[in-house]
């Protein structure tokens, strides 16, 4: 059975992942309800289409042949998609291009777990708080991380699996930083 995704829109963006041309997928039915949200259309209960995951794969593959080098999944943790389905969506898309999960959730621990288990390369976490601003504000509560996966060894040098290391790159969105 295919995973059905509440897709509102898709397209190309050069603003969501520094230095990347990203295919974006906006997911609807967001329940976060952030006052002043920059994407209020994602909270409307009607979405353009309940779309099979295979269609997102096809869109991403087509855009990759045209020069896209990343995928960003926006609204991905507060819209009724089960954690297991979200992890499958992330894992599937990460086989095409590196993936970023944009979450409006304030549960950073959960977001980190989902991103790691879904093999994401980047994670944006945190709700929008108008008084703190978005990622471009130096006072933002939102964080943008690059996730690197490293081999883990125990004290004897025996391989025990991989570990995810989250590096905060939020400063890349703020004026004057590179």
At residue 48, the pLDDT reads 59
For residue 62, report the phi and psi dihedrals to the nearest 5 degrees.
-65, -45
Say how many CA atoms lie within 13 Å of 104 toward its Cβ. 24
pTM of the complete model:
0.89
Q: For each successive 10 residues of the chain (178 residues), what is the average pLDDT?
A: 87 96 91 74 67 96 98 83 94 98 92 96 93 94 96 85 92 76
pLDDT at 44: 66
């Amino acid at each position: 059975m295919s995973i059905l995704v509440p897709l509102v829109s898709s397209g190309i963006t050069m603003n969501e992942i520094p230095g990347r041309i990203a295919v974006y997928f906006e997911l609807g039915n967001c329940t976060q309800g952030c006052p002043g949200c920059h994407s209020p259309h994602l909270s409307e209960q009607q979405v353009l289409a309940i779309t099979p995951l295979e269609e997102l794969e096809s869109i991403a593959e087509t855009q990759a042949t045209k020069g896209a080098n990343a995928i960003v999944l926006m609204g991905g943790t507060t819209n009724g998609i089960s954690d297991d389905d979200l992890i499958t969506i992330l894992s599937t898309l990460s086989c095409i291009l590196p993936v970023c999960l944009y979450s409006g959730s304030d549960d950073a621990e959960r977001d980190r777990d989902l991103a790691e288990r879904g093999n994401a390369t980047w994670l944006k976490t945190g709700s929008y708080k108008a008084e703190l601003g978005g990622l471009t504000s130096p006072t933002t509560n939102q964080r943008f991380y690059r996730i690197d996966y490293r081999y883990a060894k125990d004290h004897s040098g025996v391989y025990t699996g991989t570990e995810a290391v989250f590096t905060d790159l939020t400063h890349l969105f703020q004026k004057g930083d590179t």
